[in-house]
Amino acid sequence: MPLRLTFRALRTIRSSRYLLLLIALTTLLTLYPFWGRDVVGLATFDLVFWGVLLGGLWALHRTRRLLGIAVALAIAAFIASVATYLTSSRGILLVSCLLDLTLLVFVTANILSHVVLDEGRMDADRIFGAVCGYLLIGLCWALIYGALDLMQPGSFHLGKAPVPPPDPNADPAPHFADMDPLLYYSLVTLSTLGYGDIVAMTRAARSLSALEAIVGQLYMAVVVARLIGLQLLARRHERP
C-alpha cells in the first residue's frame, strides 16, 4: 500500500508543471532557518536550493527552447556555486548570487507568463504556478538584497537580534546561507507585514524595498483577478 501511494504521488508530480517546484520552495522556506554554518549545513542548504532550481527547470520542460536557455543558465550557476566552496572570495559569491538570480528571474517570468497571460481553463496546476510565482518573487528579491549587501556592505541593519555563539566547525567563507535574514526581510516586505526588525539603510536598499512592496500588492491584485476571471469564463462556457 505505501508503495502504491508513492507511485501515485510520483505520477501526480510528473503530470504537473509546478507541483515539484512548489514542494521544493515550501521545503526551502520552512527549513532554511535551521541549517548551521558547518559543511553539512551549507551543503544541505545548497541541495534544497538547487531542488528549487531543478523544479524551475521542470516547470519549463514542455518548451524545448526555454528549457535549453534555462539549462545553460543552470550550468553556469552550478559552476559558480561550486566555486564558492573552493574560495572565500566575496566576488565569487556575488557572481554566484547574480547567476542564481538570473536563472530564477527567467523561470519566474515564464511561469507568470503562463499563469497570467495564457488562455485556458483554470485548474489546480495554474494555482500551483501562481503560488510558486509569488514565492519566487520573494526569493528573487532576497538574492537582489544579498547582491546589494555584497556590493555595499551595511545596506541593511539587522536590529537587536541576538547573535548566536560562534560555531567552531563553521566555514569562514561567505555563503548565500548567511543571507537568511534577507530572505526573511524579503518575504515580510513582499507581504507588506513590515515588522521593522530589519531596516534598509541605504538609498538603493530603501528603493528596492519599496518596489518589492508595490510588486507584492500588484501581484495579489492582478493575478488573483486573472484567476477569478478565468474561472468565471470557464463556467460561462460550460453553460448550455
Mind listing the domains of the chain with CATH numbers?
Answer: 16-238 (1.10.287.70)
What is the pLDDT, as a whole number, of residue 172? 46
Quote the mean pLDDT of the chain: 82
Cell of residue 192, nine digits: 507588506
Q: Span 26-39, mean pLDDT? A: 81
Give alpha helix (H) positions in the chain: 2-15, 19-31, 39-59, 64-86, 90-112, 124-151, 180-190, 203-238
* Cα–Cα dist 226/224, whole Å: 5
17-28 tens-digit pLDDT = 888 899 999 999
* Cα–Cα dist 159/196, whole Å: 8
What is the pLDDT, as a whole number, of residue 26? 93
Q: Span 121-125, mean pLDDT? A: 77
CB atoms < 10 A from the CB of 227, how many?
17
**Does residue 125 surpass a pLDDT of 50?**
yes
**Does residue 145 surpass a pLDDT of 90?**
yes
Q: Do the beta carbons of residue 166 and residue 213 sit within 8 Å? A: no
* Cα–Cα dist 48/35, whole Å: 11
Q: Span 105-130, mean pLDDT? A: 85
Which comes out higher in pLDDT, residue 125 or 69? 69
State whether the Cα torsion 94-99-103-109 is positive or negative.
positive
Which comes out higher in pLDDT, residue 87 or 1? 87
Q: Span 159-181, mean pLDDT? A: 55
What is the pLDDT, as a whole number, of residue 165? 47
Q: Span 175-198, mean pLDDT? A: 82
